[in-house]
């Protein structure tokens, strides 16, 4: 089977750290080009924009969009119009409406659209989902706390409208929770902490529930300078379940059953799934995590906190 000829659009930190290595190890793809305003890759044809790439004559089947969400809708629309399959880095767009429009456009054009959630591809996610399907869940506590200076240095776009602030990592937690928990989640209330000099929150406290009125809390914070936390604690009638390390590890009743260590399998798994979608003529666009973030901005109370600078 011929490899899928793919280009990366937006060669930033996440593309260099995750997308390039994953594509380099995959037999499903041939990385034929890069389109990025401020970067290029050695020995790969590079262009400033997708339009320049499309006008170059390079044969192409798909694009992986790694640009910030602001402005991504127009780029994805152009790729779909050119008959290309499209993979979207998370968050898939600046708004729910934008991504729904892309899904409609992809369906009309007959190409695949994949709104990817890398945390869902971590090794303990599916085992946790299967386990919790057979347990009685009493409560859930999500703790996702990290140091923004360590993980997002110099990325000013994340502090702008549609950059989402602390929800950039927080949406990873929501993507995991909406996958492993057996019922749909609903936001009841939120408190969002905005630095005085920023347009996006640095911390958020969420209160959620599901159709069974299960109490679910989420604590997102970008000011954690100590041990980093990417954990989902699930209290069940049968005993505690802990998904930790961002979905790489699973403990059941206090005993570790999966310890995936680092989560380098996430992006290879995402690209394997995208290849299946392309070859099967299907799309995968689950917006549950993005809808919860949108609900938090709509329902949340805003409070001002001290200014933030790197």
Active site residue 237: no
CATH code at 75? 3.40.50.720
Task: Out of 58, 90, 115, pick the residue that ends a domain.
Answer: 115
pLDDT of residue 1: 84
Same domain, 128 and 171: yes
Of 22, 244, 216, nearest to 122 by C-alpha is 244
pTM, two decimal places: 0.94
Report how many domains make up the chain: 2
Instruction: Choose the catalytic residue: 13, 90, 109, 245.
Output: 90
Give me the domain span that covers residue 62.
Answer: 4-115
Instruction: Output the pLDDT for position 121.
Output: 96
Q: In what order do the strands lie in the sheet with 4-9?
A: 46-47, 29-35, 4-9, 62-65, 85-88, 113-115
> Which alpha helices (H) appear in 156-299, and where do they start and end?
167-180, 266-280, 288-299
**Cα of 219 vs its chain's centroid, Å:** 18
Is residue 220 a part of any domain in this protein? Answer: yes
Co-location of 82 and 22 in the same domain: yes
pLDDT given at position 164: 95
| Selection from 12, 10, 22 nearest residue 274 by Cα | 22
Same structural domain, 155 and 299: yes
**Sign of the dihedral through C-alpha 223, 226, 229, 233:** negative
184, 300: one domain: yes
What gap in Å lies between CA 28 and CA 24, rounded to an integer? 10
Strand-pair partners of 29:
4
Tell whether 81 is covered by a domain. yes
Alpha-carbon distance of 124 to 192, in angstroms, equals: 29
Q: Are residues 186 and 171 in the same domain?
A: yes
Residues 20 and 102 placed together within one structural domain of the fold: yes
Backbone angles phi and psi of 58, in degrees to 5: -65, 130
Distance CA(272)–CA(25), nearest Å, equals: 11
User: In terms of domains, do 24 and 70 share one?
Assistant: yes
CB 29 within 8 A of CB 2: no
The answer to whether position 180 is within a domain reads yes
Residues 144 and 83 in one domain: no
* 147 and 208 housed in the same domain: yes
Residue 263, pLDDT score: 56
Residues 158 and 110 in one domain: no
Looking at the fold, whether 123 and 111 belong to one and the same domain comes out as no
Strand ranges across the sheet with 255-259: 255-259, 249-252, 239-244, 229-236, 137-145, 216-221, 203-210, 185-195, 301-305
Angle between helices 125-132 and 167-180 (to 10 degrees): 50
Determine the pLDDT at residue 26. Answer: 96
**How high is the pLDDT of residue 224?**
96
Q: Is residue 70 part of a domain?
A: yes
The domain boundary residue, chosen from 91, 115, 139: 115
State which of 93, 115, 137 marks the end of a domain: 115
Query: Over its length of 310 residues, how does the chain's per-residue pLDDT go in tens digits?
Result: 899 999 999 999 899 999 999 999 999 999 999 999 887 788 899 999 999 999 999 999 999 999 999 999 999 999 999 999 999 999 999 999 999 999 999 999 999 999 999 999 999 999 999 999 999 999 999 999 999 999 998 889 999 999 999 999 999 999 999 999 999 999 999 999 999 999 999 999 999 999 999 999 999 999 999 999 999 999 999 999 999 999 999 999 999 999 976 558 999 999 999 999 999 999 999 999 999 999 999 999 999 999 999 8
CATH number where 145 lies: 3.30.360.10
84 in a structural domain: yes
- CA–CA distance, 43 with 33 (Å, rounded to integer): 9
The answer on 123 and 108 residing in a single domain is no
The pLDDT, as a whole number, for residue 39 is 73
Q: Would residue 271 count as lying in a domain?
A: no
Residue 280 domain flag: no
Kind of pairing, strands 137-145 and 185-195?
unpaired
Q: Is residue 144 a part of any domain in this protein?
A: yes
């Amino acid at each position: 089977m011929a490899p899928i000829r793919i280009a990366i659009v937006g060669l930033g930190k996440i593309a260099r750290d995750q997308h390039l290595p994953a594509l380099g190890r995959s037999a499903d793809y041939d990385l034929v080009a890069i389109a990025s305003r401020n970067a290029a890759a050695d020995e790969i044809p590079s262009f400033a924009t997708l339009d320049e790439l499309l006008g170059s004559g390079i044969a192409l089947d798909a694009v992986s969009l790694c640009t910030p969400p602001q402005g991504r809708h127009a780029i994805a629309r152009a790729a779909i119009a050119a008959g290309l399959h499209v993979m979207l880095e998370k968050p898939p767009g600046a708004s729910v409406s934008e991504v729904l429009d892309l899904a409609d456009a992809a369906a009309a054009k007959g190409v695949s659209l994949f709104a990817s959630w890398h945390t869902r591809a971590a090794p303990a996610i599916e085992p946790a989902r299967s386990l919790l399907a057979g347990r009685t869940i009493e409560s859930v506590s999500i703790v996702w706390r990290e140091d923004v200076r360590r993980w997002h240095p110099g990325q000013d776009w994340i502090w702008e409208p549609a950059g989402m602030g602390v929800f950039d990592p927080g949406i990873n937690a929501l993507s995991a929770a909406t996958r492993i928990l057996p019922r749909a989640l609903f936001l009841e209330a939120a408190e969002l902490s905005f630095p005085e000099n920023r347009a996006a929150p640095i911390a958020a406290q969420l209160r959620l529930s599901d159709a069974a009125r299960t109490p679910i809390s989420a604590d997102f914070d970008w000011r954690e300078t100590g041990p980093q936390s990417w954990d989902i604690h699930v209290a069940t009638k049968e005993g505690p379940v802990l998904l930790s390390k961002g979905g790489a590890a699973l403990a059941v009743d206090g005993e570790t059953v999966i310890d995936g260590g680092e989560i380098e399998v996430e992006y290879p798994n995402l690209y394997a799934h995208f290849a299946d979608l392309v070859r099967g003529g299907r799309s995968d666009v689950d917006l549950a995590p993005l809808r919860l973030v949108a609900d938090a901005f709509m329902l949340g109370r805003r409070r001002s906190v001290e200014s933030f600078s790197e």
